[in-house]
Amino acid sequence: MGTQIQLGACTADVSFKSIKNVHLSVHPPAGRVSISAPARMSLDTVRVFALSKLPWIKQQQNRLRAQEREPPREYIDRESHYVWGRRYLMEVSEHEQPPVVALRHKKLVLQVRPGTDEARRRELLDGWYRERVRAAASELIARWEPVLGVKVGRVFVQRMKTRWGSCSPARGNIRLNTELAKKPRPCLEYIIVHEMVHLLEPTHNARFVALMDRFMPHWQARREALNRLPVRHETWSH
């Protein structure tokens, strides 16, 4: 079952699982706290454990909340946008033709019908980013499935407010954040491998870390690189 506990001004999500040890995580970008605890453990014991870790939790949250945010986008000419870690200037082109998003040299061209408002421009670009992640993920998953000895079920790409990705081990499904299309490709590969390893080990225990070390020896450097990059203003603030 899942529940929440209050740690001063901080709220932690608690889930009880068939595991031996307590696992505490502080998630980017805003410092969401989650605790996985053995099914036999009482909620009071979990609270005592979490309170003992409160200084560390606050330190991690402060670090994450200090992460740079992207300024809000207006989807206009010469505005900066990122694709796979590279900066492009937007060029808005109005034509009475179906909308198109394309990379041309150092420009991100957004072709729209005359009078298209900001919300629709954002929707078009988000959809384009989503397809970039979907296509890249398909190739990466096909490459890593034989390496890890797992089979991914379905892949969902969507805007996610608190995570870069997630996994449903029972179903073999993986969810990826649309924002990953803005980050360098090694960051996407790290997230995909991370979620695929959860098909072998659902929790972030020592076995999970050992598996990540085995299959992607420098995964922690990729994680740190991803979490240092600016995050979307609209999506990630909460």
CATH code assigned at 153 = 3.30.2010.10
Structure tokens at 235: 């999506």
Q: Is the pLDDT of residue 68 over 70?
A: no
Instruction: For residue 228, name the pLDDT band (cuts at 50, 70, 90).
Output: confident
More confident residue, 196 or 69: 196
Instruction: For residue 19, name the pLDDT band (cuts at 50, 70, 90).
Output: confident
Which pairing describes strands 32-38 and 10-17: parallel, antiparallel, or unpaired? parallel
Average model confidence (pLDDT) across the chain:
89
Q: Is residue 82 part of a domain?
A: no
On whether both 55 and 133 belong to a single domain, the answer is: no
Sign of CA dihedral 229, 178, 29, 33: negative
On whether both 138 and 219 belong to a single domain, the answer is: yes
On whether both 45 and 142 belong to a single domain, the answer is: no
On whether both 217 and 138 belong to a single domain, the answer is: yes
More confident residue, 231 or 93: 93
Q: Is residue 101 part of a domain?
A: no
On whether both 60 and 124 belong to a single domain, the answer is: no
* Type of residue at 47: R
Instruction: For residue 88, name the pLDDT band (cuts at 50, 70, 90).
Output: very high
Q: Is residue 146 part of a domain?
A: yes
On whether both 60 and 163 belong to a single domain, the answer is: no
Domain boundary among 65, 82, 110: 65
Regarding pTM above 0.85, the answer is: no
The count of structural domains within the chain is 2
On whether both 57 and 142 belong to a single domain, the answer is: no
Give residue-wise pLDDT tens across range 119-177.
999 999 999 999 999 999 999 999 999 999 999 999 999 988 778 999 999 899 999 99
Domain boundary among 65, 81, 110: 65
Element containing residue 104 per DSSP (H, E) = strand 100-104
Q: Is residue 87 part of a domain?
A: no
Q: Is residue 79 part of a domain?
A: no
Percent of the chain, pLDDT > 90?
68
Q: Is the pLDDT of residue 11 over 60?
A: yes
Q: Is residue 86 part of a domain?
A: no
Q: Is residue 35 part of a domain?
A: yes
Q: Is residue 92 part of a domain?
A: no
Which residue, among 64, 181, 169, 89, has the nearest Cα to 129 in the 3D structure? 181
Domain that holds residue 48: 2-65
